[in-house]
Structure 1
Amino acid sequence: MESMLNKLKSTVTKVTADVTSAVMGNPVTREFDVGRHIASGGNALAWKIFNGTKKSTKQEVAVFVFDKKLIDKYQKFEKDQIIDSLKRGVQQLTRLRHPRLLTVQHPLEESRDCLAFCTEPVCASLANVLGSWDNLPSPLPADIKEYKLYDVETKYGLLQVSEGLSFLHSSVKMVHGNITPENIILNKSGAWKIMGFDFCIQSTNPSEQEPKFPCKEWDPNLPSLCLPNPEYLAPEYILSVSCETASDMYSLGAVTYAVFNKGKPIFEVNKQDIYKSFSRQLDQLSRLNSSTLQNIPEEVRDHVKLLLNVAPAVRPDADQMTKIPFFDDVGAMTLQYFDSLFQRDNLQKSQFFKGLPKVLPKLPKRVIIQRILPCLTSEFVNPDMVPFVLPNVLLIAEECTKEEYVRLILPDLGPVFKQQEPIQILLIFLQKMDLLLTKTPPDEIKNSVLPMVYRALEAPSIQIQELCLNIIPTFANLIDYPSMKNSLIPRIKNACLQTSSLAVRVNSLVCLGKILEYLDKWFVLDDILPFLQQIPSKEPAVLMGILG
């Protein structure tokens, strides 16, 4: 046991030392606490990605750190070239704002040992998820090792990258220049975001004219971090020293190929003799056959073939790619709708939430928990939406383990349990009472769930009282005896004596009759029987109930 503890202690110390040595002294640490090393990303996976939190607000972030020790082997002037290239990439990303680009929360800071900046919370880079594990901690984080991309995530992810490129090409008049799995980051909720603007090219023409992109010749003498990844680079960069927005579309085709081929690029490039490599690649591209693309889904295969075409003019543009039928998938469209939820009014949202129970069973559980559940629970602040959102949240709860329910769903349900308006909230909870009582911990049942049942028995609405009385017997076996005896029974008796509704009175008696088996004999003799004599009305239905 002691050796185990020492081992754990040394691991924790090593991780802390690793973070501290790299980031210590960087101005980022004044405002942010840096946590665990979780992933790597950016060109050649050179950036280590850590969990972090903002000290003042406790807001979650990701901290990207480039450790200068990585480039110790280079000459001073080469080191400067590398640092300048990395800085340029982050500064461009900081300037650009779009839902499909990685959001920077704190700009780049430099210290003697590292570069660092903060972004929205992230999960990993696409390259990590596809099996490229450079610059990752050892042992490898289990969530990266076991990460499985589902079809719906791949479809929607590629659509998100296409939308990001459409923004860059049309609105910013910019070529990204290095679209690769390393530069596609999966944020905490699984959305695909573009980063890595180290080699982006801005149009030199005024905005109203046809964009013109100046292109530099490939220089094999530069350090590899000062060059884009040639395995995803369009052939015209190397062979005719030219580029345009269609060059990024070739890279998108190469990324699509890699996603469906376990991260393997379509061509291996010999960086020592790049021109020969690309001439051979050009030849293979002009004879691209179906067997090379066999792992790519049939409905997108032809589009990928067009993206990988030697002639830039033949490749579809980013806007055309966003409209292909491959992305008209019910799951992908559902995720897309969630991303645009803030633009919708209550009527549109309510229609969408009503149809959601039909879609949820078709989606993988991790995608539901990671992408959909946080969007649903964020709607709880809007009381009018709760009756439409709550059935979906409880449907997800049914598929969760008890531990997942307590960790992911219960904290958000707490305030909803206390809401009295609109009245449908109470009805929905009453209909799902067996779920709540089997998955909620005893303390929380006592403090939140049962008080809701008591409120329903005391509600002014006859309909709610009736529903509650009808449902109580179905979960009575799950209620602890003291609560039953001291809180529930007195309220049922009260409902029976105080009401002016015959239906409520009869249902109170029927309800009591059904839960008698959970009460001890003396309590029935001392408490229930004397109560029956106090019932004021003598209608046949009530007498039948009393006799029953």
Structure 2
Amino acid sequence: MAFNMGALKGFANSLSNSVSSTVFSTYSAVKDVLPGNPVTREYEVGEHVASAGPGLIWKVFSGYKKSTKQAAAVFVLEKRILDRFERPERDYLLEVFRKAVSQLTRLRHPQILTVQHPLEESRDCLAFATEPIFCSLANVLGRTENMPSPVPPNIRDYKMFDVEIKYGLMQLSEGLAFLHDSVKMLHRNISPESIIVNHQGAWKIFGFDFCIPNTAPANQPPLWAFPEYNHGTSVEFGYPDMDFLAPEYALSGECKASADMFSVGMIAFTLYNTKPLFCNSGNWGIYKKHAQELRSLRESNLQLIPPDLKEYLKLLLNVTPELRPDAAQFAKIGFFDDIGVKTLNNLDSQFQWDNLQKSQFYKGLPVIIPKLPHRVALHRVVPCLSKEFVNPPMVPFVLPGVLQIAEEASKPDFEAYILPDLKKVMRLTEPVQILLIFMQRMELLLAKTPPTDVKNDVLPMIYRALESDASQIQELCLSIIPGFAGLLDYQAMKNALLPRIKKLCISTTLLSVRVNCLICIGKLLTTLDKWLVIDEILPMMQQIPSREPAVIMGITGVYKLAFTDDKLGLTKEVIAAKVLPFLFPLSIENGLTLPQYNVIMTLIRQMIAKVEEEHSAKLEQLTSLQNEQRSALQISMSENTQVRPDQLIANPSGSASAMDDMFSGLGLGSYVQKKDTGAIATGLMSSYSPDMSKNTGQQGQAKAMSLEEKRRLAQQSENIKKLDHQPRLSPAPTSMSPRISSTGSSGKDLTSSLMERNLTQMKSSQSLTQFPTTTPNYGQMSSFNSTMMSSNNQSDWGMAKPSQASKPDLSAFDSLLTPMASGQKQSMNSMLSPMGMMSGPRSGQGMPGMTTNLGVKPLSPNDISDLLS
């Protein structure tokens, strides 16, 4: 039963441990590594980055303080790791770790890890916060216990440079010198797991778990009690690393400060050989054996050690403690007389110097930086230089070195380690050298700065430079802007940068600044679009108040670049209306030399040639199009039409006067040689009747006379002339004589009006016979007969209807009719008869039973011209 109860208890414990492990793994997966620990109230815990301490028992996480956002590292010791030990031993180890952190918290030195928040304990873990760290030296050498899986590449691939090893050993010696001489403390566990490499690459002493305090009275040499080896204590966590422990702990039974110096020598050997001289595997017996072998250290073991360190390393690894150099002596050996080591050491000592000493050092720093490994310069030099950014007078001395390192940095490294500090400096305007340095390295900034930061930090700095009172800053800014203009977005160029350059060009009183503005604008033209140049740049040229030769040539250069650039391609309208009227007066400004004048005139000629070429081509196209339209119109017209209905016949006779010759060649020939053909028609109308002339003139203004109207007008004029030579006719005595005689002179007028009206209607009817191809229009004949009949029925005549009264004798008008064929003349009385009206002349065909072909000859165009002349 007892066995069964024991087995059941073991199973329960195993199950409990399995459940606890699963729960803890889940917590770790969600980064909740500090459940209930007070450290989490003030610090935000991030990624697992390293491990350190005895047996690498401490996990190290990145993080930051919540209140100040200050970067930090959080050390966590999970108590469950000690669950495999018995309770007394577990409590002993926890007490060792508590005292170690407490001792570390009380110490303040540049080579000792700085604690930001003291140790806090919860049910599950111990935790405290320190300055940000990179990893432990053990992690760098390949020991990855208690590390995240997989190991971060930046740690797995980390290789130390020679200058880092030298300066790290020097820092370690300085830290031990502080412990031995000032604190009177023996560390006793100087090993890779007790040395922390921070983010800047500096080595920091950690792991005071096995330190021995001074037991000597005051004003007496320090004395450290020798700790006997306890075989019951866990070697993994409860004893120093035997691979780096001095041999006197096993051989002589005493310990001094030289014991820590032996550990320093073994670390140096390990750094150059990647492993310690002896591997004891935590076994006390093996350790004692190897301690005896140190009495005869072979030269072959030191083949990889640098020559200037080999002699001192033999002393450090000597079995006799008194032969070993102390910390202060070791820090002064020639091995550390290296320019890189001195540079890093001076950077760490800046807080002790005044501004004059600092400025002298920073002036020579750009020469030294290329000799340093880039990682050292980025993580070691830049942080030290960035501390001086809070001191504006020193920024011009520090900034060149930072930008030199930034040039070699990758874009991610620049954004992570350099840009955050540079943003603060970009806001400074004094001293002016800061802007000068930034202007000189502007291409670097724009190439590696993200677009958002360019808009928020870099461009405002450029704007401040343009608005600066120092002309040197303005000229330098203008000279470098074209170099990075292609990296700017269009809106920033149009709405922010270009308006400031224009304002500076117009408002400045310095000739050099104005000329540099024009040169800058000229170089920016290739990055602008056509309409921005036309709407913004060209009008600005006319607003410049000065006319010095340099300014004129700058303006000419801008116009020339805009004119010759294929993308811009100024149009002929812009050239003719805006550019040439402005350039011509500039060409005759006083002060221009002959070569300058020739340059301007050459550009003017080129512009004129372009306008001429483009506009001539346009006019040729228009003329060709008009000719094509005119040809198509003429083809569509009737081939028998020889005169356009809306065109008067011009007088072919006459010659151009001397005054007309003056306008030859100006394209005004159609106006200079035009004849007043309208006067002919006006004279004809006035000779007939003043009222008719007036009405005709008004109608002519409203609408041009057709060909039929012109022919009818000419025929009437001829008939009037013939009537003037005929004797006056007296009407025959009829029944209407009393009515006529009673009207007096109005009878003559009525008779003449009737004859003229009948004659006009007859001629209108006869004009239909002038075109042989026209078919007879019976409707028109009926209209003519009805008109004649209605005229005979007017009450003004006092006549009866034809069936009731005799017809008037109109034989005297027979001679006025158009000549007919011989033997076929028709009397006026017969024409007035109903049959006569129906048998009038036709153009070839007549109605059945009527005489239709009268042989009338149509008027030719020449006959019409003779009548009008």
> Would the aligned equivalents of 2:250 and 2:291 in 1 still touch at CA under 8 Å?
no
Q: Does 1:86 align with 2:97?
A: yes
The structure-2 alpha-carbon separation of the partners of 1:281 and 1:272, relative to structure 1 and needing over 3 Å to count, comes to: closer
CA-CA distance at 1:468 after TM superposition: 2.4
Residue in structure 2 matched with residue 449 of structure 1 by the alignment: 458
Residue in structure 2 matched with residue 6 of structure 1 by the alignment: none
The structure-2 alpha-carbon separation of the partners of 1:141 and 1:445, relative to structure 1 and needing over 3 Å to count, comes to: closer
- Max radius of gyration: which structure? 2
> Would the aligned equivalents of 1:217 and 1:238 in 2 still touch at CA under 8 Å?
no
Gapped regions of structure 1 (runs ≥ 5): 1-10
> Would the aligned equivalents of 2:316 and 2:324 in 1 still touch at CA under 8 Å?
yes
CA-CA distance at 1:243 after TM superposition: 0.6
Q: TM-score, normalised by structure 1?
A: 0.90
* 137-146 vs 150-159, greater mean Cα deviation: 137-146
CA-CA distance at 1:210 after TM superposition: 2.0
Residue type matched to 1:453 in 2? I
Residue in structure 1 matched with residue 490 of structure 2 by the alignment: 481
Residue in structure 1 matched with residue 571 of structure 2 by the alignment: none
Residue type matched to 2:109 in 1? H
Identity of aligned residues (%): 56
Residue type matched to 1:533 in 2? Q
The structure-2 alpha-carbon separation of the partners of 1:485 and 1:197, relative to structure 1 and needing over 3 Å to count, comes to: closer
Residue in structure 1 matched with residue 350 of structure 2 by the alignment: 341
Q: How does 1:13-52 map to 2 (within 5 A)?
A: 14=25, 16-17=27-28, 23-52=34-63
Pick aligned residue for 2:260 from 234, 248, 254: 248
Residue type matched to 2:332 in 1? K
Residue in structure 1 matched with residue 173 of structure 2 by the alignment: 162
Q: How does 1:279-298 map to 2 (within 5 A)?
A: 280-298=289-307
Q: Does 1:368 align with 2:377?
A: yes
**CA offsets, 1:189-227, max 9 Å, x none?**
221111122221222212322222210222223221222
SS of match in other structure, 2:96 = helix
Q: Does 1:226 align with 2:235?
A: no
Residue in structure 1 matched with residue 325 of structure 2 by the alignment: 316
The structure-2 alpha-carbon separation of the partners of 1:206 and 1:458, relative to structure 1 and needing over 3 Å to count, comes to: same
CA-CA distance at 1:13 after TM superposition: 9.4
Residue in structure 1 matched with residue 337 of structure 2 by the alignment: 328
Distance 1:234 1:247 in 2: 5
> Would the aligned equivalents of 2:242 and 2:287 in 1 still touch at CA under 8 Å?
no
The structure-2 alpha-carbon separation of the partners of 1:121 and 1:452, relative to structure 1 and needing over 3 Å to count, comes to: closer
Residue in structure 2 matched with residue 261 of structure 1 by the alignment: 273
CA-CA distance at 1:404 after TM superposition: 3.0
Residue in structure 1 matched with residue 513 of structure 2 by the alignment: 504
**CA offsets, 1:144-177, max 9 Å, x none?**
2122222222111111110111011111112111
Residue in structure 1 matched with residue 85 of structure 2 by the alignment: 74
> Would the aligned equivalents of 2:31 and 2:47 in 1 still touch at CA under 8 Å?
no
> Would the aligned equivalents of 2:216 and 2:223 in 1 still touch at CA under 8 Å?
yes
> Would the aligned equivalents of 1:19 and 1:34 in 2 still touch at CA under 8 Å?
no
The structure-2 alpha-carbon separation of the partners of 1:456 and 1:197, relative to structure 1 and needing over 3 Å to count, comes to: closer
Distance 1:534 1:393 in 2: 43
Distance 2:32 2:472 in 1: 65
> Would the aligned equivalents of 2:226 and 2:254 in 1 still touch at CA under 8 Å?
yes
Distance 1:58 1:454 in 2: 31
SS of match in other structure, 2:302 = coil
Gapped regions of structure 2 (runs ≥ 5): 1-21, 558-869
CA-CA distance at 1:320 after TM superposition: 0.3
Q: How does 1:355-394 map to 2 (within 5 A)?
A: 355-394=364-403
SS of match in other structure, 1:190 = coil
Count of residues paired in the alignment: 535
Residue type matched to 1:342 in 2? F
Pick aligned residue for 2:138 from 122, 127, 132: 127
**CA offsets, 1:396-447, max 9 Å, x none?**
2222233333333333333322322111111112111222222233343333
The structure-2 alpha-carbon separation of the partners of 1:165 and 1:545, relative to structure 1 and needing over 3 Å to count, comes to: same
Distance 1:13 1:230 in 2: 32
Residue in structure 2 matched with residue 5 of structure 1 by the alignment: none
> Would the aligned equivalents of 1:173 and 1:207 in 2 still touch at CA under 8 Å?
no
Distance 1:464 1:57 in 2: 37
Pick aligned residue for 2:113 from 97, 102, 111: 102
Residue in structure 2 matched with residue 115 of structure 1 by the alignment: 126
Distance 1:454 1:56 in 2: 35
Pick aligned residue for 1:416 from 412, 416, 425: 425
* 522-531 vs 466-475, greater mean Cα deviation: 522-531
Distance 1:525 1:30 in 2: 63
Pick aligned residue for 2:407 from 398, 405, 411: 398
Residue in structure 1 matched with residue 227 of structure 2 by the alignment: 216
> Would the aligned equivalents of 1:220 and 1:272 in 2 still touch at CA under 8 Å?
no
* 483-492 vs 237-246, greater mean Cα deviation: 483-492
Distance 1:345 1:33 in 2: 37
CA-CA distance at 1:33 after TM superposition: 3.5
SS of match in other structure, 1:347 = helix
The structure-2 alpha-carbon separation of the partners of 1:504 and 1:19, relative to structure 1 and needing over 3 Å to count, comes to: closer
Pick aligned residue for 2:247 from 220, 231, 235: 235
The structure-2 alpha-carbon separation of the partners of 1:448 and 1:47, relative to structure 1 and needing over 3 Å to count, comes to: closer
The structure-2 alpha-carbon separation of the partners of 1:47 and 1:489, relative to structure 1 and needing over 3 Å to count, comes to: closer
Distance 1:204 1:95 in 2: 18
Distance 1:403 1:277 in 2: 47
**CA offsets, 1:297-330, max 9 Å, x none?**
2211111110000111100000001111212222
Q: Does 1:528 align with 2:528?
A: no
> Would the aligned equivalents of 1:48 and 1:66 in 2 still touch at CA under 8 Å?
yes
**CA offsets, 1:215-274, max 9 Å, x none?**
022222322122222211111111121111111111111111111121x11112264452
Distance 1:406 1:247 in 2: 44
Residue in structure 1 matched with residue 594 of structure 2 by the alignment: none
Residue in structure 1 matched with residue 523 of structure 2 by the alignment: 514
Pick aligned residue for 1:461 from 447, 470, 490: 470
Residue in structure 2 matched with residue 207 of structure 1 by the alignment: 218
Distance 2:112 2:477 in 1: 50
CA-CA distance at 1:277 after TM superposition: 4.1
Distance 2:163 2:138 in 1: 18
Residue in structure 1 matched with residue 562 of structure 2 by the alignment: none
* 330-339 vs 422-431, greater mean Cα deviation: 330-339
**CA offsets, 1:82-125, max 9 Å, x none?**
22322222222222221111122222333333333222222211
Distance 2:105 2:493 in 1: 59
CA-CA distance at 1:522 after TM superposition: 4.0
The structure-2 alpha-carbon separation of the partners of 1:222 and 1:337, relative to structure 1 and needing over 3 Å to count, comes to: same
The structure-2 alpha-carbon separation of the partners of 1:439 and 1:74, relative to structure 1 and needing over 3 Å to count, comes to: closer
* Greater relative contact order (CA < 8 Å, ≥ 6 in sequence): 1
Distance 2:418 2:231 in 1: 54
Q: TM-score, normalised by structure 2?
A: 0.58
Distance 1:365 1:163 in 2: 25
**CA offsets, 1:337-374, max 9 Å, x none?**
22222222222222222222112222222222222222
Distance 2:528 2:33 in 1: 66
When the two chains are superposed, the root-mean-square deviation of aligned CA atoms in Å is 2.5
The structure-2 alpha-carbon separation of the partners of 1:523 and 1:50, relative to structure 1 and needing over 3 Å to count, comes to: closer
The structure-2 alpha-carbon separation of the partners of 1:242 and 1:436, relative to structure 1 and needing over 3 Å to count, comes to: same
The structure-2 alpha-carbon separation of the partners of 1:221 and 1:59, relative to structure 1 and needing over 3 Å to count, comes to: same
Q: Does 1:180 align with 2:191?
A: yes
Distance 1:330 1:413 in 2: 27
Q: Does 1:142 align with 2:153?
A: yes
Distance 1:144 1:533 in 2: 64
Residue in structure 2 matched with residue 7 of structure 1 by the alignment: none
